[in-house]
Structure 1
């Protein structure tokens, strides 16, 4: 029987063990918000449904199961007002539904969801079904935004274990406040740089002179090879070489570098008043935060980014015309900086928060060892 694990953060907090990169002393640039999470952008709510059950040999349709779904409401469950948005595909070996309409209209309507590669369809349909029961979000037609990364090394991905009720649970349970990280929700079965990956988040607050705006980032990271991993400028992946789960996460015997393995989805949110063309520019900057951690977005990688702004409420009201504010392009660079910094930290937070996991056929992926990470950073004066 599938066991739906809700939020794991509370259990971790009870142990007193540090769960975030800053708790381990990892140095990052920029000033984080109070929660250091995407929910520092007022109104945003995040929900997870985590599915973990079974052990041993893979039996398609039965398990083991290591998967789930993560959802995000830009203005919360009680506000369906669309937000200005833009998206960017750094490498398109992946999926994010609904983006052609985001590109065409400039708006994101409804929640965003992230899951595993083979559950995109059921999650998309479930969001529509949920919306039909919530008149505020109901439309005669809708094109939900659902993104994915592949969890088939740990999870019975062809067993289609994510069901509509799991999506409903994540949607109904979405809330503000601290965001659980690591092996939760859509990130449950993910691998990042040969360590356990998953969901991570971070935020930045700009200086008063730059508008005091907030930028928040949420990632589902499932990308990279171990030798690539860089944290705070330190080649951590070359220093911690134990426990690489399988050959595709390391260089070959001759030392030749392979392309990236896996994918990453990055969602960038801000309360700065930006229009769609500016938000597309913001989404592009997530690439630079990803690059800081070592990724080169290889041919097999699906690196797709979405950015939205919670400013300019009612910008899509009928009949219009509607008044819209925007940051001048000459003043947008601090928002770019914040996006890069928060993206880098969110990826590291995902790995720090994830614990060692064993899945199908006893495949085991190690969690990033906190003590060794601290030792390596100290070795390099960080």
Structure 2
């Protein structure tokens, strides 16, 4: 009971403080495309996000630095009304459950959950249990559930073999899912994550686009835990070649790409499952812009869904769906690449230094040094508002 109360306080703090944290655009980083009002996945009507962040120093000297993030494509209605979806693995050294049924049916049923590698099982079971407890099962008396749970490995900072994510944490992430601004950096499933050997975590971004005179949105949320330092590029600047101090893995003796990234792409454009699989593939290009080469040890797994076409999933013998023609998908593809890139940078900018398991650390990217490099390479764009937060 005491731990749950502590987690609740931490969650509330993260949700409220995130709005005050600088984001990538606040540092003068230039990006292509026009973002939505919040520049977040939740710009798309109906989508809600909930996060539980677990940070605790245990009496036995182990460090808890983990959590869970819940994405509900249709908010509370996600359990009853699926969305069309598709997925893609750029490199499969990772896990996303439920993908066989997405391939078979073209549908995503229920939430998308993000957590650490060794908590996939408990999160999946908790999602099923919550649906069972909610009642309203089919005529057999049982719900049939294949939840989508994706992971990245936070064992550098987190006591990952301590199995600290509990069903209660999953329940809270689902119950607290809301629209509006999304907390980024050291929160939720991204709490203990690292990318390009900088502290990283959860990040999000969105883009507006136009097709046949109709305005649509594409939103992206990432749990970023991939990449090595040297290839890192931000807005085309070879940042990794200049910011080489405090490399995370030097003390662990690791070499090469050993992390992962989960990318969730959403749109309100009406798309069919095979088109959404094509969209999911385009997240690869946003990742490439950052300098990732999807190494052998990386789990780079992407999911795309559309919140349009709600009516075909309602009761009835004949469902009819609308869709954007393949010849008109280029805007969606481009928006996906742009939003994926910015979401990753937002995750890096929002993250803060963290020391964790075994005294190991991950240092956040220095805002001051990043701005200096942007100016040096002629890529700095003066932000509209003066950044109030101090640079780490």
Q: Is the TM-score greater than 0.5?
A: yes
Q: Displacement of 1:137 after TM fit? A: 8.5
Report if aligned partners of 2:62, 2:358 keep a CA contact under 8 Å in 1.
no
Aligned to 1:186: 189
- 1:149-176 per-residue CA deviation (whole Å, 9 max, x = no partner) reads 0000000000000000000000000000
Match of 2:177 among 174, 177, 195: 174
RMSD across aligned positions (CA): 1.9
Please tell me whether residue 205 in structure 1 is matched to residue 208 in structure 2. Answer: yes
Q: Displacement of 1:133 after TM fit? A: 2.7
Report if aligned partners of 1:55, 1:362 keep a CA contact under 8 Å in 2.
no
**Distance of 2:196 and 2:301 partners within structure 1:** 18
Report if aligned partners of 1:259, 1:297 keep a CA contact under 8 Å in 2.
no
Aligned to 2:16: 10
Please tell me whether residue 133 in structure 1 is matched to residue 130 in structure 2. Answer: no
TM-score, length-normalised on structure 2? 0.90
Secondary structure at the aligned position of 1:323 is classed as coil
Q: Displacement of 1:245 after TM fit? A: 1.5
Aligned to 1:99: 99
Secondary structure at the aligned position of 2:144 is classed as coil
Aligned to 2:72: 73
Cα 1:55–1:368 change in 2 (3 A) is farther
**Superposition map of 1:35-46 within 5 A:** 35-46=38-49
**Distance of 2:137 and 2:329 partners within structure 1:** 32
**Distance of 2:252 and 2:327 partners within structure 1:** 41
> Which runs of 5 or more residues in structure 1 are unaligned?
253-257
TM-score, length-normalised on structure 1? 0.92
**Distance of 2:165 and 2:211 partners within structure 1:** 44
Deviation >6 Å, runs of 4+: none
Q: Displacement of 1:319 after TM fit? A: 3.7
Cα 1:136–1:204 change in 2 (3 A) is farther
- 1:201-253 per-residue CA deviation (whole Å, 9 max, x = no partner) reads 00000136563110000000000001121100111111111111122899x9x
**Distance of 1:359 and 1:182 partners within structure 2:** 16
Please tell me whether residue 25 in structure 1 is matched to residue 28 in structure 2. Answer: yes
Cα 1:131–1:314 change in 2 (3 A) is same
Q: Quick check: 139-148 or 104-113, which moved more?
A: 139-148
**Distance of 1:299 and 1:142 partners within structure 2:** 31
**Superposition map of 1:149-168 within 5 A:** 149-168=152-171
Please tell me whether residue 286 in structure 1 is matched to residue 283 in structure 2. Answer: yes
Aligned to 1:302: 299
Cα 1:104–1:137 change in 2 (3 A) is same
Q: Quick check: 130-139 or 65-74, which moved more?
A: 130-139
Secondary structure at the aligned position of 2:261 is classed as strand
Secondary structure at the aligned position of 1:77 is classed as helix
**Distance of 2:286 and 2:252 partners within structure 1:** 21
Secondary structure at the aligned position of 1:228 is classed as coil
**Distance of 1:319 and 1:210 partners within structure 2:** 31
What count of residue pairs does the alignment treat as equivalent?
Answer: 369
> Which runs of 5 or more residues in structure 2 are unaligned?
380-392
**Distance of 2:83 and 2:216 partners within structure 1:** 16
**Distance of 1:136 and 1:271 partners within structure 2:** 28
Q: Quick check: 293-302 or 129-138, which moved more?
A: 129-138
**Distance of 1:367 and 1:304 partners within structure 2:** 24
**Distance of 1:331 and 1:208 partners within structure 2:** 7
Aligned to 1:255: none
Report if aligned partners of 2:18, 2:183 keep a CA contact under 8 Å in 1.
no
**Distance of 2:323 and 2:101 partners within structure 1:** 22
Report if aligned partners of 1:219, 1:346 keep a CA contact under 8 Å in 2.
yes
